[in-house]
Amino acid sequence: MKNLYALAALSLSLSLFSCNKGDNLSDRGFVPLPTQISSSSGSFTLNAEQKIQISGNEESLRGIVSYFNQQLSKSLGFELESGTESGSIKIELEANNPEDESYELTISDEEILISANSPAGIFYGVQTLLQAMPVEVFAENTGMQSFEIPAGEIQDNPAYSYRGSMLDVSRHFLPVEDVKHYLDQMANLKLNYLHLHLSDDQGWRIEIKSWPQLTEIGAQTEVGGGEGGFFTQEDYKEIVRYAAERFITIVPEIDMPGHTNAALASYGDLNPGINLPDGDFETVTKSVDKAEDEFKGSNITREAAELYTGREVGFSTLDTDLDLTYEFIEDVVREIAEITPGPYFHIGGDESHVTAKDDYVYFIERVQEIVRDHGKTSIGWDEVATSKLLPGNVAQFWALEENAKLAVDQGNQILMSPAKKAYLDMQYDSTTRIGLHWAAYIELDSAYLWDPATYVDGISKSDILGVEAPLWTETVENRADTEYLVFPRLGALAEVAWSPASSRDWESFKSRIRVMGQRWENQGIGFYKSPLVNWE
């Protein structure tokens, strides 16, 4: 009788965990789709006996191996031994060319081999290997002792070098743990840039030691009047470190000259005196003209703006004529650049509806120089292309094609975030419980079915640095809201950024995102069950 129970338990666990035995490697539900997959017969058995063998720059590989082991041990309860001697899971770093993110993954009965020319390439090979395993590997404490990974070979290489997402932590603040959780998910999708929108009208979210009121005052609320919050510089460094472990670079954004009410509420001396009146947008614009007429050249008594907790955009501006404005920016850029190892600093530049056109151009050109002097490359929303861009600076296309073309005409590259496709805050359809729809409703197929290289007439692949999917958070209050809007669309956008357009296919994506859904479910992620996909 006992034996019968044991047999039943064994066959149950076999059917649970090894049901994929005999499956093809290409059926494992890879997202984003690798460039080439060839399946062969047989499979590799992974259990606690297997060892990892690393070769080539041990130092840089050790972090990846410990990441891999952390992922496995959460689910399996054991880690694999690793060293340079011998092992059936071989990780070979063949060169150190950080630009080359390609990798090869070979799985046979005897061994697994991941090889690449950069640590990032190895890391992506590890991500693909995790997806080649049963989806239970993404669940905690499964008690799985052994499982099969189908044999075959994968060669892979990203289409774009910048594959990003953005979190707006200003409209609603998100704590460090939520940002880390987001980074975990980005890493699984081979995304490599997280843009943090750190300031806006509703909140200033990063400690600036030389201007402490930015957070003492400007971080104290958010859309809807909640308590807000901010990252200390230590918090920010921890995010940067955690991201780097996952080969993700942080891009900090300080949005200016518009979207600055939180700063103007913190320091009245910066405020040109245009506050959001109770009235509509036209009243605001008129009040700006009036303010300019009244204030230009005269002695104005500047007063702090009121904190703002609404959802309007385009009513605030820094004073582009004021020396103090540039002293302020100089300090902010310096302090943030010092704790940002990545190459980019995002200067915003969008929707400065109450900044006079000439003032805007002057301001953007001057701020680009400040950023350059602190060793960083500027990215700005597409409006910045109406100014003269410094060489190498990037325009992030979100709304106006003519702006994107202005940037390309100047010889600058574009980061593609068309609001109609890439905006994660757009509702899926009219029934979606949160989100906006000013640009479009974006169902999963719409987020998937576009090609950055043909999206704007006159802009081709070589003009494009990459793709970024921003999450604006006017309607997003917590992690659950984030997950509902981000997944599954982030999977679609990751594939748009990683996989060559020629290999992308909606039917194939539908069958693979279904498997990705099981991985998300195993991690407790509450994603949107698009009716276009059979999730069962």
Question: Least separation, in Å, of the C-beta of 496 and ligand TNX?
Answer: 18
Residue 104's closest CA among 492, 96, 94?
94
Nearest residue (CB) to ligand TNX, 313 versus 356: 313
**Nearest-angstrom CA–CA distance, 195 and 6:** 52
One-letter amino acid at 239 equals: I
Residue 395's closest CA among 331, 442, 359, 348?
348
Residue 306's closest CA among 279, 254, 271?
271
Nearest residue (CB) to ligand TNX, 48 versus 313: 313
Question: Least separation, in Å, of the C-beta of 33 and ligand TNX?
Answer: 28
**Nearest-angstrom CA–CA distance, 329 and 327:** 6
Residue 478's closest CA among 194, 218, 182, 206?
182
> Residue 386 carries which DSSP code?
G
Give Dmax (Cα) for the chain: 96
- Site map for ligand TNX, 265-304, x if CB under 6 A? ----------------------------------------
Say whether 404 sits in a helix, a strand or coil. helix
Number of helices and strands in the chain (H, E)? 17, 17
Say whether residue 312 binds ligand TNX (CB under 6 A).
no
Say whether residue 17 binds ligand TNX (CB under 6 A).
no
Nearest residue (CB) to ligand TNX, 176 versus 313: 313
Nearest residue (CB) to ligand TNX, 384 versus 496: 384
For residue 252 the two structure tokens come to: 């900090």
Say whether residue 425 binds ligand TNX (CB under 6 A).
yes
Say whether residue 351 binds ligand TNX (CB under 6 A).
yes
> Residue 199 carries which DSSP code?
E
Nearest residue (CB) to ligand TNX, 37 versus 389: 389
- Site map for ligand TNX, 367-406, x if CB under 6 A? --------------x----------------x--------
**Nearest-angstrom CA–CA distance, 87 and 84:** 8
Alpha-helix residue ranges (DSSP H) falling in 133-192: 176-188
**Nearest-angstrom CA–CA distance, 398 and 400:** 7
Say whether residue 463 binds ligand TNX (CB under 6 A).
no
Q: Which of 350, 463, 468, 483 binds ligand TNX (CB under 6 A)?
A: 350
- Site map for ligand TNX, 105-144, x if CB under 6 A? ----------------------------------------
One-letter amino acid at 474 equals: E
Residue 177's closest CA among 224, 140, 231?
231
Question: Least separation, in Å, of the C-beta of 384 and ligand TNX?
Answer: 11
CA dihedral 165, 171, 177, 183 (to 10 degrees): 0
Could you give the residue numbers annotated as active site? 351
Say whether residue 313 binds ligand TNX (CB under 6 A).
yes
- Count other C-beta atoms under 10 Å from residue 57's C-beta: 14
- Site map for ligand TNX, 145-174, x if CB under 6 A? ------------------------------
Size of the site for ligand TNX (CB under 6 A): 10
Question: Least separation, in Å, of the C-beta of 486 and ligand TNX?
Answer: 14
Nearest residue (CB) to ligand TNX, 91 versus 469: 469
Nearest residue (CB) to ligand TNX, 271 versus 417: 417
Question: 3-class secondary structure for 475-492?
Answer: CCCCHHHHHHHHCCHHHH
For residue 23 the two structure tokens come to: 């499956």
Sites for ligand TNX among residues 471-530 (CB under 6 A): 472, 474
**Nearest-angstrom CA–CA distance, 463 and 411:** 8
- Count other C-beta atoms under 10 Å from residue 507's C-beta: 7
Nearest residue (CB) to ligand TNX, 472 versus 520: 472
Alpha-helix residue ranges (DSSP H) falling in 189-280: 213-216, 233-245, 261-266
For residue 110 the two structure tokens come to: 């005897």
Nearest residue (CB) to ligand TNX, 267 versus 315: 315
Sites for ligand TNX among residues 433-452 (CB under 6 A): 436
How far CA 153 is from CA of 46, 116, 253, 386, in Å, comes to 17, 14, 40, 48
Return residues touching ligand TNX (CB under 6 A): 313, 350-351, 381, 398, 423, 425, 436, 472, 474
